[in-house]
Chain A
C-alpha cells in the first residue's frame, strides 16, 4: 500500500529564508507527484505537478524535485514571504491503474515578518 510521509509536520521561518519541504513515498511506481497549497478553511491549490519521467518542475519561487528511485520529493521555496504561510501537501498517483491520489498529511509553514 502506498504511503506518503511529509516531514516536518510544522515549520516556522523568518521572512526571506530559503526553505525545503520534504515528501517521501513507499512505492516508487508512481504516475506523477503533485504539490498543493492549502490555506486555512480553504480548498487545495495545485502548485506543481511532476510526471514520473521528470526530475523537477519550477514555478516562480517554487522548485519541486523528484527522485523516484529513492521515493523522495522536495519543494524548495526561495526568499520566503509571509504570504507563503499555509499547509503544503504532496500527493502521488500510483502506476498500474489504481487511479488513486494518495496524500501526505502536510507541512504547516509559517513565515514570520
Chain B
C-alpha cells in the first residue's frame, strides 16, 4: 500500500491564483480530512469527509473547497490564493469502522507559499 499520497510537495502561487492540492489513499478508508499546520498555531482542520459524496467544514474552511466523488480521492481547492494561506497542508485518512475518528494516517504534506 502507498498509504496517503499528496501532490505536489511544494507549490508557489501568486495572490489570486487558484489551484488544487491532490490527496489519495489506497486503504479504502471512509474518513478523510485536510489540515493546515502553521508555526505557533498547531494543526487545524479545514474540511473533512465521512464518505464519498459527503463533506463538511472544519475549523478554518474559508477560502477552500472540497469534494469527494470517490472513496480514494479528496482534493482541496484554493479558490483565490491569499498570503494568509501560506502553510503546510496535510491530508489524513482513517477507516471509520470504530465509529469514526480512529487511527489517523497522514500524507507527507504540501508546502504552499503564496506571494
* Chain B proximity of A98: nearest CB distance (Å): 10
Contacts A43-B108, A43-B109, A100-B59; is A105 near B102 (CB within 8 Å)?
no
Chain B residues with Cβ under 8 A from A44's Cβ?
A: 43, 90, 92, 104, 106
Chain A residues with Cβ under 8 A from B59's Cβ?
A: 100
* Chain B proximity of A106: nearest CB distance (Å): 7
The number of inter-chain residue pairs (CB within 8 angstroms) is: 58
- Are A99 and B103 in contact, with the CB atoms below 8 A? no
- Are B50 and A99 in contact, with the CB atoms below 8 A? yes
* Chain B proximity of A38: nearest CB distance (Å): 9
Chain A facing B: main interface SS: strand
Q: Which of B51-65 contact A (CB under 8 A)?
A: 56, 58-59
Alpha-carbon distance A49/B109, docked complex (angstroms): 22
Contacts A32-B101, A100-B58, A101-B33; is A43 near B107 (CB within 8 Å)?
yes
**Interface range on chain A (Cβ under 8 Å from partner):** 20 to 34
* Chain A proximity of B113: nearest CB distance (Å): 15
Interface flag for B83 (CB, 8 Å): no
Contacts A44-B90, A89-B43, A104-B42; is A99 near B100 (CB within 8 Å)?
yes
Select from chain B the residue with minimum beta-carbon distance to A31.
B101
Interface flag for A63 (CB, 8 Å): no
Select from chain B the residue with minimum beta-carbon distance to A44.
B106
Residues of A participating in the B interface, judged by any CB pair closer than 8 Å: 31-32, 34, 36, 41-46, 49, 89, 91, 93, 99-101, 103-106
